[in-house]
Amino acid sequence: MPQITVDYSAALADTFDRRAFAEALHAEVVETAAARLEACKTQFRPTEDTTVGGDADGHAVVHVTLGLLAGRTEETKAKLTEGVLELLRTHVKPADGLMLHASAEVRDLDASYRKFEE
């Protein structure tokens, strides 16, 4: 915990500094949501096809999902979401001719969440 997933349009592969984003995001999660740095895990998933409305061209999407153990206030979750969007503004530059659509959400992990490390 936290479990972080970043889905992004493959067209952003050369203009999205994923490593720097993850490092900054982990620091933000530690500061805002009182997580431990070593517990932060981020996975990036490029998507080949993006359609916005009826348009399959000219758009790029980044969506960040953060799963946290229950207990954070709605205010903390909202502050973290806003922080994520600010970090995306810094670390993602849309390629020429692409409109960037960025979003983020913070949600509680289900009570069934378990993990192991070996």
Domains in the chain (CATH in brackets) are 3-108 (3.30.429.10)
**Per-residue pLDDT at 70 exceeds 90:** yes
Q: pLDDT, tens digit, for every residue of 71-94?
A: 999 999 999 999 999 999 999 998
Per the CB < 8 A criterion, the answer to whether 37 and 27 are in contact is yes
Phi and psi based region of residue 64 (left: phi greater than 0; alpha: psi -120 to 50; beta: remaining): beta
Q: pLDDT, tens digit, for every residue of 10-47?
A: 999 999 999 999 999 999 999 999 999 999 999 999 99
pLDDT of amino acid 117: 87
Task: Give every CB contact of residue 81 below 8 A, 6+ residues apart in sequence.
Answer: 104, 105, 106
pLDDT of amino acid 56: 84
Give percent of the chain above pLDDT 90.
Answer: 87
Average pLDDT, the chain: 95
Which 3 state secondary structure label does DSSP give 32?
helix
**Per-residue pLDDT at 55 exceeds 90:** no
